[in-house]
């Protein structure tokens, strides 16, 4: 589904992504790991069009999407969450997701429909699938940190993505919230056939759920392989796992 070849991105003289390679197959749950500043978020920003690469290819199916703007990439079926939750805090949980469903369905131009009546079933369905249905009338800003992050996943689901990209989905969560969220992510992949690419610092989480792990250090891909092979990789142990 997604192939990244020899990707580079510099900010002035600083090479944030400096030879990244990644392969994501349809239906796979793929993790990107690496120390702080390794270039994970920059890589995700490049895939989603928030940044444009200096060099290299980002192939979605066989099309190079490297120079396309975010809204076009979104229409091609890639949706994401951000490292810091990105929600409308003064709207209800329901409205946050409904807005996303409506924009996907391009219904925002149906001016004579009161928006409240549109996409109700789809929105409820998404809220149900992430376990937020009973909180749909709550203000998004009043949710717990964990539920805000899950709401963000629900908003991304409103885009009906084929590839969901999650930047540290469990950052700042309690151990219980982390377990619930990772179970949710696994369920979305299994039940809805979603392809999911995520980055994460919690190694227990990563090695517990990922089917393939890509390791980055200083902007470079050291290796991408199945969890067992990655764990046994000497370079990875020295570069990253060793200092835990
Ligand atoms: N817009 C920018 N301008 C200048 N430098 C940047 C910019 N964005 C990121 N960087 C730098 O690029 C490097 C990689 O950052 P990035 O956020 O991609 O790392 P990361 O792997 O996501 O780290 P973390 O695990 O802390 O989230 C960092 O040194 C960062 O300071
Ligand atoms: Mg980051």
- Ligand 1 atom nearest the C-alpha of 34 is 21
Structural contact between residues 213 and 33, judged by C-beta atoms closer than 8 angstroms: yes
Which spans in the chain are helix H? 40-48, 70-75, 93-104, 120-130, 145-157, 175-192, 203-209, 227-232, 234-239
Domains of the chain: 1-77+162-244 (3.40.50.300), 86-160 (no CATH)
Q: Mind listing the pLDDT tens digit for each residue in 118-130?
A: 789 999 999 999 9
Q: What is the mean pLDDT of residues 157-167?
A: 92
Residues around ion ligand 2, judged by CB within 5 A, are 40-41
Q: What angle do CA 49, 217, 167 make, to 5 degrees?
A: 40
- The 63-64 sheet, strands edge to edge: 14-24, 2-11, 55-60, 63-64
How high is the pLDDT of residue 85? 67
What is the CA 115 to chain-centroid distance, rounded?
28
How high is the pLDDT of residue 154? 94
For ligand 1, pick from 40, 169, 170, 222 the residue to mutate: most ligand atoms within 8 Å of CB. 40
Average pLDDT, the chain: 90
Q: Which ligand is nearest to the CA of 9?
A: 1
Q: Cβ of 181: how many Cβ atoms within 10 Å?
A: 22
Rg (CA), the chain: 18
Predicted model pTM: 0.91
Q: Whose CA is nearest to atom 31 of ligand 1?
A: 37
Q: Mind listing the pLDDT tens digit for each residue in 30-70?
A: 999 999 999 999 999 999 999 999 999 999 998 999 999 99
pLDDT of 107 > 70? The answer is no
Q: What is the mean pLDDT of residues 136-163?
A: 93
In this structure, what token pair is assigned to residue 117? 């009546």
- Ligand 1 atom nearest the C-alpha of 42 is 18
Q: Which ligand is nearest to the CA of 32?
A: 1
How high is the pLDDT of residue 17? 98
pLDDT band at 244 (very low <50, low <70, confident <90, very high): very low
Structural contact between residues 215 and 223, judged by C-beta atoms closer than 8 angstroms: yes
At 49 the three-state DSSP class reads coil
Q: What is the mean pLDDT of residues 97-103?
A: 88
Nearest to 50 by CA among 38, 64, 66, 31: 66
Phi, psi of 195 (to 5 degrees): -95, 130
pLDDT of 238 > 60? The answer is yes
Please list every protein residue whose CB sits less than 6 Å from any atom of ligand 1: 11, 14, 16, 34, 36-42, 83
Report the alpha-carbon distance of residue 197 to residue 201 in Å, rounded: 14
pLDDT band at 241 (very low <50, low <70, confident <90, very high): low
How high is the pLDDT of residue 41? 96
Q: Which ligand is nearest to the CA of 51?
A: 1
Q: Whose CA is nearest to atom 7 of ligand 1?
A: 11
pLDDT of 233 > 90? The answer is no
Q: Is 177 exposed, middle or buried (0-12, 13-18, 19+ CB in 10 A)?
A: middle
Nearest to 196 by CA among 3, 25, 39: 25
Q: What is the mean pLDDT of residues 175-191?
A: 91
Q: Whose CA is nearest to atom 29 of ligand 1?
A: 37
CA distances from 27 to 30, 106, 156, 186 (A): 9, 26, 17, 11
pLDDT band at 205 (very low <50, low <70, confident <90, very high): confident
Q: What is the mean pLDDT of residues 57-85?
A: 89
């Amino acid at each position: 589904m997604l192939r990244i070849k020899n990707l580079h991105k510099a900010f002035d003289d600083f090479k944030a992504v400096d030879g990244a390679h990644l392969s994501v197959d349809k239906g796979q749950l793929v993790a990107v790991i690496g120390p702080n500043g390794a270039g994970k978020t920059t890589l995700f920003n490049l895939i989603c069009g928030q940044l444009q690469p200096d060099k290299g290819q980002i192939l979605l199916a066989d099309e190079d999407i490297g120079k396309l703007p975010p809204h076009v990439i979104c229409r091609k079926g890639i949706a994401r969450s951000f490292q810091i939750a990105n929600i409308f805090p003064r709207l209800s949980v329901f409205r946050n997701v409904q807005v996303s469903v409506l924009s996907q369905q391009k219904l925002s131009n149906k001016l004579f429909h009161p928006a409240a009546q549109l996409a109700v079933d789809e929105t409820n369905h998404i809220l149900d699938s992430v376990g937020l249905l009973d909180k749909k009338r709550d203000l998004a800003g009043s949710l717990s940190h964990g539920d805000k992050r899950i709401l963000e996943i629900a908003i991304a689901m409103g885009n009906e993505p084929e590839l969901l990209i999650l930047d540290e989905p469990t950052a700042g969560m309690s151990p219980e919230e982390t377990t619930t969220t990772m179970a949710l992510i696994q369920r979305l992949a299994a039940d809805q056939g979603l392809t999911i690419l995520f980055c994460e610092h919690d190694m227990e989480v990563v090695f517990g759920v990922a089917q393939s792990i890509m390791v980055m250090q200083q902007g470079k891909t050291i290796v991408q392989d199945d969890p067992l092979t990655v764990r046994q990789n000497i370079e990875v142990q020295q570069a990253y796992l060793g200092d835990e």
